[in-house]
Amino acid sequence: MISRILVTGGAGFLGSHLCERLVDEGHDVICLDNFFTSQKSNVSHLLKRPNFELLRHDITLPIFLEVDQIYNLACPAAPGHYQFNPIKTMKTSVVGIINMLGIAKRCGARLLQASTSEVYGDPDVHPQPESYRGNVNPIGPRACYDEGKRAAETLCMDYVRSNNVDARLVRIFNTYGPRMHPYDGRVVSNFIRQAINNEPITIFGDGSQTRSFCYRDDLVEAIIRMMNVPQGFPGPVNIGNQGEFTIRELAELVLEQVGGDSKLIEKPLPMDDPTRRRPDISLAKEKLGWEPQTSLRDGLAQTIEWFRSIDLGDYRPPTPNFA
């Protein structure tokens, strides 16, 4: 069945791939974005499609639209981006979800909120199941993102309980792939860009901290499945790859795949940087019949190929003048 679908943050890394998939499936897609961390080139190829519409709008401001489904992805996701204006980040998560839940309530639309593994903070349970309540520093530099996403989860569940809104929560673990902002400061983009340019690869700390890296196609498949399960399972559900790598292992793998003669250098570890992270995806397997299909090696190869194909000069570093 064809649906009218709103994708907030639809011009971003994940949002643009989601829009592409939904447009290809024939849905009427409204992509809403304020272009804080993205550029129109991510979706310009969709503008000629009759079932795609692009709106420049900020979700902290009310908007009236009539849709059947809302994927709420609008929020800066990389630490350098979300710490650029932390108050705005918190507003985007909290005021933004209130505006989107308002549309969902008025239209009877289904809403999927892109939450994050950051709700677990620096976890003392490993791997992290959805039942783990987390270890977030509420006053640290990452809190604007972590606590904003936690508050958004709370608001979704309160609308589910008190207004019977059909909201769903996915907790996304580190995801990478083509169209991630080359200057977003995240580890995969930094390492690939640095290796391609024969620049030093910057390992923060001693590189023993771990992350689990999910390829974008696996992620998009999971969130579409979560949007389309029958009402009654709001989640939250973890979406991520169970393979766990130290940051040093990632650097070595990127260097091996890119080639070149970059050196690995150590830089100070940012405050509150989680020491380890790996999703328990038992619930996603059970409820969505989903598990990742793409190995880190294969996903990196595709991401490296994309980085080689773009002109880095077309992308601005993460210092946009947004308030």
Site residues, ligand NAD (CB under 6 A): 8-9, 11-15, 33-38, 58-60, 73-77, 81, 92, 96, 114, 116, 172, 174-175, 181
Q: Which does 46 bind (CB under 5 to 8 A by kind): ligand NAD, ligand UDP, none?
A: none
Q: Choosing from 145, 159, 183, 215, which is the catalytic residue? A: 145
Peptide bond into 178 cis (omega under 30): no
Q: Where are the alpha helices (DSSP H) in 164-275?
A: 187-196, 216-228, 247-258
Residue 153 · residue 115 · CB < 8 Å: yes
Peptide bond into 234 cis (omega under 30): no
Buried b (16+ CB within 10 A) or exposed e, 184-221: bbbbbbbbbbbbbeeeebbbeeebebbbbbbbbbbbbb
3-class secondary structure, 217:
helix
The least distance separating ligand UDP from the CB of residue 204, rounded to whole angstroms, comes to: 3
Among residues 268, 261, 229, 243, the alpha carbon closest in space to that of 176 is found at: 243
- Does 90 participate in binding ligand UDP (rule CB under 6 A)? no
Give residues 257-316 in contact with ligand UDP (rule: CB under 6 A): 269-270, 273
The least distance separating ligand UDP from the CB of residue 234, rounded to whole angstroms, comes to: 25
The least distance separating ligand UDP from the CB of residue 246, rounded to whole angstroms, comes to: 9
Region at 27 (left for phi over 0; alpha for psi -120 to 50; beta for the rest): beta
What's the rounded Cα separation, in Å, for the pair 158 and 170?
A: 16
What's the rounded Cα separation, in Å, for the pair 313 and 310?
A: 9
Residue 117 · residue 240 · CB < 8 Å: yes
Contact pattern for ligand UDP over residues 138 through 177, marking x by CB under 6 A: ------------------------------------x---
The least distance separating ligand UDP from the CB of residue 311, rounded to whole angstroms, comes to: 21
Q: Which does 303 bind (CB under 5 to 8 A by kind): ligand UDP, ligand NAD, none?
A: none
Per CB under 6 A, the segment of 29-37, 59-67, 124-132, 204-212 that binds ligand UDP is 204-212
Pick from 186, 193, 216, 278 the residue near ligand UDP by CB under 6 A. Answer: 186
Pick from 17, 110, 181, 211 the residue near ligand UDP by CB under 6 A. Answer: 211
What's the rounded Cα separation, in Å, for the pair 139 and 147?
A: 9
What's the rounded Cα separation, in Å, for the pair 137 and 134?
A: 10
Beta carbons within 10 angstroms of residue 103's beta carbon: 20
3-class secondary structure, 117:
helix
Q: Which does 74 bind (CB under 5 to 8 A by kind): ligand NAD, ligand UDP, none?
A: ligand NAD
- Does 200 participate in binding ligand UDP (rule CB under 6 A)? no
Pick from 60, 202, 242, 302 the residue near ligand UDP by CB under 6 A. Answer: 202
Beta carbons within 10 angstroms of residue 321's beta carbon: 6
The least distance separating ligand NAD from the CB of residue 1, rounded to whole angstroms, comes to: 26
Q: Would residue 71 show up in a list of annotated catalytic residues for this protein?
A: no
The residue sitting closest to ligand NAD, measured at its beta carbon, is 12
Pick from 38, 190, 294, 303 the residue near ligand UDP by CB under 6 A. Answer: 190
Q: Which does 172 bind (CB under 5 to 8 A by kind): ligand UDP, ligand NAD, none?
A: ligand NAD
The least distance separating ligand UDP from the CB of residue 297, rounded to whole angstroms, comes to: 18
Catalytic residues: 145
The residues binding ligand UDP (CB under 6 A) are: 78-79, 174, 186-187, 190, 202-204, 209, 211, 247, 269-270, 273
